Each structure stands twice: as structure tokens, then as C-alpha cells.
Amino acid sequence: MRPSSPPESVAPSPPAVPETARAEALDHPSLYFNRDLSILEFNRRVLALADDPQVPLLERLRFLTIVSSNLDEFFEVRVAGLMQRRKYNAGPLGPDMLGPEDEIRAVAKVAHELIQAQYTCLNERILPALAAAGIRLRRRDTWRATQRRWIAQYFQQEVLPLLTPLSLDPAHPFPKVQNKGLNFAIVLEGQDAYGRHSPIAIVQAPRILPRIIQLPTDIAGPADFVFLSSVIHENIETLFPGLHVKGFYQFRVTRNSELFVDEEEVDNLLDALADELTTRPFGEAVRLEVASNCPAEVYQYLLRHFDLQEESLYTLPGPVNLSRMAAIIDMAARPDLLYPPFTPGLPDRCLRSEEIFSQLRRGPILLHHPYQSFMPVVDFIRQAASDPAVLGIKQTLYRTTPDSPIVQALMDAAVAGKQVTAVIELKARFDEANNIRLAEQLEEVGAQVVYGVVHHKVHAKMALVLRRETDGIRLYGHLGTGNYHARNARIYTDLSLLTADTQITADMNALFMHITGMGRAPTLTKLLQSPFTLFAALREKIAAETALGTAGRIIARVNALVEPDLIRDLYLASQAGVQIDLIVRGPCTLRPGIPGVSENIRVRSIVGRFLEHSRVYYFGRNGDPELWMASADWMSRNLFRRLETAIPIEDPDLRQRLIRETLEFYLEDDCNAWAMGSDGSYSHLRDPSQEQPCRSAQDRLLALYGRGGVGNG
């Protein structure tokens, strides 16, 4: 077992709470982990995959770059928010009662440790292993003469025309450095033709230039690469003729990337967001990354310019943006160093030529992605677009792709004269620009486009088809835990339910009417909805299990568990003897295994080939279990500030299948599972000394569906 270090926390270790303790004691800050430190702990588990020799080599590189991308967003959003709160002397926000100053200090300590571990993994394990496999990142001191000539020519033709060297003097102020852009601080000596002397200059690498360049095979190996930074460094004196370049240092600035739009003060949210997006690359700085060779006088100068404290400085023994190294994965063309490909399966019913609406009248279809194909969902919308009997389509779009086949089908339906309503969430973080383009495209062909609900994100995944049949208009629906994003459906685990259930589809229609119109919250028959009914229903269901005492049973699978009232309710259930298993991929602020509080709660995280994204809630009900799939995590934002749905799985066969595949397999996993301790550490459950192969839930599902297996609906 490989334990991870517990996250740094100011809160003391939690004391045992006597059995006679009242519920108020469960509000004590020591019973809650800090959310941001828990996010960093999740990235430590992702980094462990990059360090795992059982993972294919290029996949290890991919996980290494994923950590970098995750940390970028963490600083852009979470750390940026902490720094804003410190700026305005705000008090503690979470139940752990950690104030912004203490939290920034704790986060910086853990983040520095994590990033140093990341570069140790890169330099000591990933790069040597890549080189042994024939994939080499050539350093400048290893270039041969023929390679230097090719690189010089490449620089002259492809790089130099796009560079703008900026010396810093009264006529040349410090340039606006974009968020996460690659930059170089150049230390100079001497005077130019005008008699100017500037000890430092800044060169920005244009985003259009690739950061990884493959050398031609006639002068190098089949997979030899150089960094753009090395190409510029080698030729930097070309930019400053007659001057002596004393130093060349990479740096990168991460900025606050939150968008600030007062939805009640704008006439058109789309136009307001489009304007706001132009300023995002230049928000307040929150992190400065510099190469490890950067001298103190240079990085101190940069810190002063960006108004950052030294805690925000990250000195890196390698390239300053590891996420760009992901380009090597495709360019290397080494499928032997990747996970084996798989073909998603299809339910038996989806293999028939019968149109989808006839199939759904006989019963629902449940799909488990990525093990089962996302194509039935695409076909559902495509058939609706081309079916003369279909009158209209209503759909939410939170994240998708510019070339989405679903969006194309909606456009085709609108062109064909069908009533198309698209609820596009413009505020989906970092997808705002893409969603603005989608909204404009759909509006151009006559679709009705709305932008969600003021102050609430529409995060529910719903598509509703209205079809005229012999007995009147009938509704068909799709509900999912994931987005309408065909590419993500290959790498995220998610659930899709296609159904003609009249009560569920009537609930869906009521939700669409409420989103696009106004009025009191709709009364739903089967679905639970945030922000109106889901939170209260969850508390009631946990309380019902609590009343059963030792006969109670709760299993929840979510991406994050940070909502303090739900945690408190789970503590009460544990004190009553309810057995609770929580499968939480990412941040979890509940402390399991505390005597007298949570000794009946177990928390595990599954981190593997696919990103675990399904949300499933199970309540035992004394032998008559109920099961829900949902779009909502157990977070305040999902339960109070987003429109979410939870869907009951009532068909006995589908319910039993889902319990087995999404809960039991994951509780039996001893391969990709990490168990959370009461001190905040996670222990990898894989035992390397075990002779029998470990049980991976993801591998079991691949064997069941992903290699041609079909399974039932």
C-alpha cells in the first residue's frame, strides 16, 4: 500500500465525540477537511498514475500533463478566489473555518510539494523511460551539427517573423503578459545603435507556435523532439544584434480567470460575456512560474511587477508548462505505449434496425459510457431531426464540441421546420467562447436559444423529443450524468437513460417550460430537481436510513462531497449504526473513521484510465432499495446554484444492473481504488505482493462491454 501524505491543515486532529454528543458537536471545524487541500490531494492520486509502471508509458505522460492542466485551473479559480478574499479581509468560508490567509499558506505548501514531485517524476522516471523507448526530448547540448542547421533554418522561417522582442525602458513598458503564456526574460549587456541600455527584455512566445517540435527523421530518430523554448534560446542573440545576452529565463503567469458579469444589469448575457472574455487573459496574477536557473534578482523583479508574494513563486526544474508535452503522445505514433483500443458495446436492442421510438415504447434503454457507445444518444437526436412525425426537440447544452453531431442534428431539425429549443449554458467555465458560437449558429437557422436561468447554471443533461402519434403527442427523453460531448463520452464514465416513461418525460417538459418561461417551481412526479427538491430529498432519505439504525444502508458515488449539511447528516447516520460507503473521485471534506462520529463511514476514490464522472445514489430502505442517477455532486453549488436532475431507476433489471456495475464493482476494486483515512491521507489498495491479479472495476466493465460485449438495455 502506498499512503499519501495528509494535506496540511491548521485544524487540529479531530477528537473522539462521546456517544451522548448532541448534533451541534458535529459542526466542530475539526470534523471537516479543507476543500482546496482535498482538491490537491486528488491531484496527488492522479500523479501516482504517472508514477505507476503498470500504466503504459505514454499514458503516464498524459496523466502527468493532466495534473498540470488541473493545477492551472485550480490556481485560476480556487487560489484566485482565496486571494480575492484575503484582499478584502474576508473571514472563513468553509466548515473547517480556515481563513483565507491560513488557507493560502497551507495550499502553497502542499502545491509546492506536489509540483516538485511532478517534476521529479518527469525528470527521473518519465523522460528516461521515454528515451529508452526511443522517444527523446533533445536538449541543446546534445544537438548534432546537422540538427543545429535545421533548427536555425526552422527558427528563421517559422519562429523569428512572429517574435516581438521588447526591451524595458521608459518608451517600452512591461508588456501585457497573457494568462498561462510562455515568456522569456532576457538579461542583456551593452548599448544599441541609439545608445539605449536596457538590462532586461521580454519575449513572448506566440500561442500559434507549437511548443514541441519534431525533428525530421533524416537528421534524427523517428521520435526525436525539441522544445520551442530551446529553439528560441539557441537563436536568441538574433533578436538583439550587437548586445550580449547574459541570461535567458522562462517564466509563466497564471491569472484570475473568473468572469464577472452582473446578470441583472445586462440586457443580453451573450453580448456581455463575449465582451468579458476579451479581458480574461489579463486578470490579476495569482502564480508566477520560473525555470530553476532563473536568478533571484530576475524573479524578484517579476514578483514585484505582478504584485505577488513569494508564496506565489514556483521554481521549476524543467519546462514551465508540462501540459504542452501532451502533444508528444500523438506525434510519437506509438500505439504500443498506450492503453489498448476498445470498441464500445451496444445493447442488443440498439443493434436492431427498428427506429428508436418504437424501441423506447417497449421499455427504457440504459447506457454505461464509455463501455457502451454514445451513438444511441446521437442517433436519438438525429432520428428526431429527420422524422416527419417529430414536431419539436428541447435540449440543454452545457459542454459540447464545435463539430458536435448533436448540434448539427439540432440545426438540421430547425432547418426542417421543427420547433427546436436549445438551453445553452453560456457560463460553463472555460467553454464560454465555444458556447457563444454554438448559440449564434443555432439562432441563425431559426432555433430558439435561451441562456439558462439568472444566477443559476443549467447543469442538467436533458433532451426531449415531441412526436405526433396516433393517440396524440408523445414525449421521449434522454437524461444523463454527463455532457452531450461525444469525445468525452470515450474517456469519461457516465450514464444515459433513454425513456418514454410518461411521468418522467412530463417532468422534463415541465422543467423546460420553467427554464424558458417564468413562474413557481414545477411540481414534479418522479424527478428530483436542484435548487428546489433535490437537497431536501437527500436529507430525508439519509434521515430515513438513520431511523433504521444498523439496518440502514447508504452508498453514494459522486465526484465531490463538500456540502456540510449532508456531511453532518451522514455523521448522524453513522452514529446510528448505518453502514455508509462513499465513492468520491475528487474532493471530500468528510472525515471517515472517527470513533463516535464516522466509524461506520468508508470513503474511497477510483482513479484510473477513465475519468469517473457518474453520480449514483443508493438507499437501502430495509431491503427495498431505491437507486438514483444524477447530474449533481454533493456540493453547495450543485444543490443550490445550479439546475440539476436526479432520475429514479425503477425498472428492476436496470436497477440491479446499475447497482452491480456502478457500485458493487467499485467497492470490490483493489486495483485503482484509494481508501481515505481519518487523517486525510489516501492509501492505494493495490497490494503488489498479492499473487492474484487485482480487480479493476474499469477493466471488468471493459471486458463486459468494451470489447464487443453487448449486454442488455
Are 225 and 211 in contact, with CB atoms under 8 Å apart? no
pTM for the predicted model, two decimal places: 0.90
CA 338 to centroid of chain Cα atoms: 21
Q: How far out from the chain centre does Cα 633 lie?
A: 13
Query: Which residues, 6 or more positions from 227, have their beta carbon under 8 angstroms from its beta carbon?
Result: 137, 211, 212, 213, 319
pLDDT value of position 706: 65
Q: For residues 262, 267, 271 and 277, what is the CA-based torsion angle, rounded to 10 degrees? A: -10
Strands 448-450 and 419-424: parallel
The helix/strand/coil state of 423 is: strand
Contact 584, 605 (CB under 8 A): yes
- Tell me which residue of 393, 405, 429 sits closest to 259, measured CA to CA: 429
> Is the four-CA dihedral 120, 122, 126, 130 of positive or negative sign?
negative
Q: Catalytic pick from 368, 369, 456, 459?
A: 459
Q: What is the pLDDT of residue 431?
A: 55
- pLDDT averaged over 10-residue windows placed end to end, the chain, 713 residues: 42 44 76 96 97 96 96 93 90 91 96 97 98 96 96 97 83 81 91 68 94 96 96 95 92 80 45 50 86 96 94 96 95 96 90 88 96 95 96 90 87 94 71 72 87 80 96 96 88 96 97 87 95 97 98 98 98 98 97 96 97 97 96 96 95 96 98 94 88 91 71 42
Across 409-425, b (16+ Cβ under 10 Å) vs e yields bbbbbbeeebebbbbbb
pLDDT at 23: 54
Cβ atoms within 10 Å, residue 73: 14
What pLDDT, on the 0 to 100 scale, is given for residue 689?
A: 77
Return d(Cα 453, Cα 484) in angstroms, integer: 19
Asked whether 137 and 128 are in contact (CB, 8 A), the reply is: no
Buried b (16+ CB within 10 A) or exposed e, 491-526: ebbbbbbbbbbeebbbbbbbbbebbeeeeeebebeb
**pLDDT cut 70: percent of the chain above it:** 89
CB 457 within 8 A of CB 641: yes
Task: List, in sequence order, every residue forming a beta bridge with 458; answer none if it has no partner.
Answer: 643
Predicted local distance difference test score (pLDDT) of residue 12: 39
Report whether 382 belongs to an annotated binding site: no
492 is in an annotated binding site: yes
End-to-end CA distance of the chain: 38
Q: What does the alpha-carbon distance between residue 162 and residue 228 come to, in Å, rounded to a whole number?
A: 13
CA distance 661 to 659: 6
Q: Is 613 annotated for ligand binding?
A: yes
Go through the domains of the chain in sequence order and give each one's CATH number: 25-119 (1.20.58.310), 137-337 (3.30.1840.10), 356-523 (3.30.870.10), 529-706 (3.30.870.10)
Phi, psi for residue 479 in degrees, rounded to 5: -130, 140
**Alpha helix segments (H runs only) across 479-593:** 502-516, 534-548, 564-575
The answer on whether 429 is annotated among ligand-binding residues is: yes
Residue-wise pLDDT tens digits, 563-581: 999 999 999 999 999 999 9
**Residue linked to cell 444492473:** 657
- Distance separating alpha carbons of residues 172 and 382, to the nearest angstrom: 56
3-state secondary structure 268-289: CHHHHHHHHHCCHHHCCEEEEE
Q: Where are the beta strands (DSSP E) in 205-259?
A: 212-214, 224-227, 244-255
Side-chain half-sphere exposure of 380, counting CA atoms within 13 A: 31
459 is an active site residue: yes
